[in-house]
Amino acid sequence: MSGHSKWHNIQGRKSAQDSKRGKIFQKISRDLYQAAKTGGADPDGNAQLRLVMEKARAANMPKDVVKRALDKATGAGGQKFEEITYEGYGPGGTAIMVAALTDNKNRTASAIRSAFTHHGGALGASGSVAFMFNRRGYIVILRDGLDADEDTMLMDALDAGADDMNTTDDAFEIYTDPTQLAAVRDALQEKGFDLDTAEITMIPENVTKVPSDKAKQYVNLIDELSDNDDVSDVYEAAEVADEDLAE
């Protein structure tokens, strides 16, 4: 079983962020862009895009916001976006990778460097922390209302072609080879499972606990990076103890 739980890391801060409707739309917009960029902007031929568009409808995301995200992916309107990855260290020396989608590299680099600096971290050179992460396919199936225990879910995931699974109180996290993500996703959907997430992500080989006295500073750094409109995702090789964030 995978020892790292991306879901657990995210859920520790998710409620406060998701209380902002705009943050939900921002995340879905990024997912729409990534799906359309990878598999095309036609949902009929792009299962990943269909999955994200279902999320957009469930969140009552305005059609014009959806269209803007797809236009970015196709280059409509003349805007050109680049995907850039930044690497750095958070408080306590924890490894962080930041995936960005930007039409202005100078603006984005400046904002990300400032975030690291203001919160006790440092932006590193290319390759400084990337070796600590592995590129994996990542699928999340929520357990709420799901009639499947851990053993059953694991067997279904392995039968679908998955490599590994991690279980939390709220979700099953399924890991795949990146090249097999689409096949595993489709197989699980054919079995009747509703997927909350299906994406390519970066999983750390090892997770470092953030020192207690650096926990809030670390979370503030991750929040500022995540709140940046140019940032697509933040990958962490760190874990914060819940008790270290208690008031």
pLDDT in tens, 202-230: 999 998 899 999 999 999 999 899 888 88
Q: Is 221 helix (H, G, I), strand (E, B) or coil?
A: helix
Composition of the chain by helix, strand, coil, percent to 5: 50, 25, 25
Output the six-digit token pair for 105.
């590299």
Question: CA separation (Å) from 105 to 83, 89, 113, 137?
Answer: 10, 20, 12, 27
Per-residue pLDDT tens over the stretch 69-119: 888 887 776 667 788 999 999 998 999 999 998 889 999 999 999 999 999
pLDDT > 50? residue 17? no
- Closest Cα partner for 230 from 138, 106, 116, 124? 106
Question: CA separation (Å) from 139 to 131, 149, 154, 197, 205?
Answer: 22, 17, 13, 5, 18
Helices (H), 87-138: 105-118
pLDDT at 101: 85
Judge contact between 198 and 204, C-beta under 8 A: no
Question: CA separation (Å) from 176 to 24, 109, 141, 179, 204?
Answer: 26, 31, 14, 8, 14
Judge contact between 131 and 195, C-beta under 8 A: no
Per-residue pLDDT tens over the stretch 170-191: 899 999 999 999 899 999 999 9
Instruction: Report strand pairing: 171-176 vs 133-142.
Output: antiparallel
- Closest Cα partner for 73 from 22, 122, 32, 27? 32
